[in-house]
Amino acid sequence: MADQGILMDLSDAIWSAHSPQQSDILNSSENQCRQESGHVVRRGDNWTFTTTKHQFTPSGNGLGPTAHRLPGRDNKATKQTKRTKRQTRFQAKGSHVEKVALVRQLDKELCALAEYIKARNPRPLSPIHKLSTHIETDSREKKRKAPEEDDDPNKRIRSESPERPLPPINTETPAPGTTPIPNPVTNLRFRKMPGTPEEATAGMRTSVGVIQMTNGQQYTAPPKEGFPHPECVESPLRNTTDLNRAAWAGVKGHKAFIRVYRAKYAANTRDVVAKLAFVIKCLVDTPRVIISPPDEREKLDERHAAPWNFMVSELTEEAHKTLIAQGWWSTPTITFYIFDFNLRLPRYIMTLQNLCLAQDEDETRKFVARLVKDKLKSLKEAVDFLAKHSGGDTKAATDALDTIEVRALEITLPGPGEVTDLLWNVYFTPPSTIDFFRLLEWTAGIRTLTFPSNLHGTGVPRVGPDQLFCIGCKGYDHPTGLCPLPLILGWFGVTTKSITADDKTLSKADERNERNNDKKSKSGQGSRAGGGGNKNRGGNGNRKDFRRRNYN
């Protein structure tokens, strides 16, 4: 009974899949028969042509038509002339022969399909076996385990579609002379796959550092320790207009700053806005996204000049948390960094140079940290400034200075050979109650100091043209060529593919842009080891300008 149901479905599929010429023959013959006071009826796979006197149907083996008398039609037939009856039968015969030829072809194709199905599946056919939830693939990672077979068809159907009420399965023997009705076939549905990045991370395996969501969106999988946050010691609203700042501050709801990797200001940002809105809607479930571009206050003579940061608003609470928790989102369409509108306090203080410490060891890092800590604690002005802007808590200020730590950064000096030098980045955990802009003012003042060690030289903060700056992430604790983001597995953004032998701080693209910028500005070369040769790089031509830019 189940086999017959499948064959009937296959017959319908074959009939509908025939060429348009064959369909036109059937339609034209049907219309012609209707015009001759007859009609064509299709019941399942059987075609019946009925005239006023005779009924033609294909025989069971599809070899030809048989004529049957229609009861109750003799009185009407006798009223017609013999000529009319001959014309009706002659016209019906031609169209019927064409239909019989199609029926024969259908029978042959149906038999061939039945044999093919039996060869592929020797078990008894059933509507339940028409589809399967397991995937046949050569990949072990993507292959799903095939469901175990169960003899009870009710259990099989109920396990495949547990949410729908199922009609009872017909297990009775059909009466003689009736056509058996096949059992109902439920639509098989796969398990609902995750739609948010958090669900996708938990429910889908990553391949080569890339996560692909169910909607097709791909993004770089975060490392185990998470993406690094850029240590940007300047305002995200730098070089924006006052009207721009006031408008952004007045926006209600969940909002955040968003910055493209290797961003620079452009007057026309429609393409960037469209890409950001599209990718955000693919990454998180939010009905609406508004991207607001920044307005430039003045033209800056810098590479990748500010303003860089856009504002994204109209986010749902869940989407806002998901986007900010990861920070960096690298996709094939665009790569961006998103951070809360309530600014995160930077941990970076400065980068020291000129210390004659040849090795990056735990003891040397502790030595530099103790050197900086003792100097700052001895300066009453430095401690009082932190305490004043942290609610007047002197203990909170001294505790913050106790958290000072140092990380070494190895760079290659310009010139022949592979001569390297160590720089020392200084970080600390600032008091949680201090204002963001007051903290930038404090760190700018600390970078005007020197730190003598009496044994290993005097540590001098790198400022002005020597200040480290990454064009990609806008961080101040490393140059562009040493940005850690392009080294992350699966990164879609711009990568540093090659590094020159005499300079491990600039990529090829940065070096080319540096030369072009130098030709335009006619400025002198600074230290290439600092990651930049333009003295106007980053707007840090002098300390006064460096301090001013932090507040604006």
- Residues of the chain short of pLDDT 50, as ranges, are 1-4, 6-7, 17, 19, 25-26, 29-73, 125-139, 141-143, 146, 153, 155-164, 166-167, 169, 182-196, 198-203, 205, 498-552
User: What are the structure tokens assigned to 43, written together?
Assistant: 């019941």
* Residue (of 40, 23, 22) closest to 31 by Cα position: 40
The Cα 331–Cα 283 span in angstroms is: 10
* pLDDT of 175: 54
pLDDT in tens, 387-412: 999 888 889 999 999 999 999 999 88
∠ CA 146-151-157, rounded to 5° = 65
Are the C-beta atoms of 491 and 461 separated by less than 8 Å?
no
Write the CB contacts of 293 (distance below 8 Å, at least 6 apart in sequence): 269, 272, 273, 310
The Cα 91–Cα 28 span in angstroms is: 12
pLDDT in tens, 13-27: 555 545 455 555 445
What is the CATH topology of the domain spanning 219-340?
Alpha-Beta Plaits (3.30.70)
Are the C-beta atoms of 509 and 401 separated by less than 8 Å?
no
The Cα 464–Cα 543 span in angstroms is: 6
DSSP class of 534: B
User: Which CA distances in Å does 386 have to 381, 426, 451?
Assistant: 9, 17, 20
DSSP class of 230: P
Are the C-beta atoms of 529 and 536 separated by less than 8 Å?
no
Domain boundaries for CATH 3.30.70.330 within the chain = 219-340
pLDDT in tens, 178-227: 555 544 444 433 333 344 454 444 445 456 799 999 999 999 999 999 99
Residue 68, SS3 per DSSP: strand
* Residue (of 138, 137, 147, 141) closest to 190 by Cα position: 147
Are the C-beta atoms of 500 and 232 separated by less than 8 Å?
no
* pLDDT of 223: 93
* pLDDT of 176: 55
Residue 55, SS3 per DSSP: strand
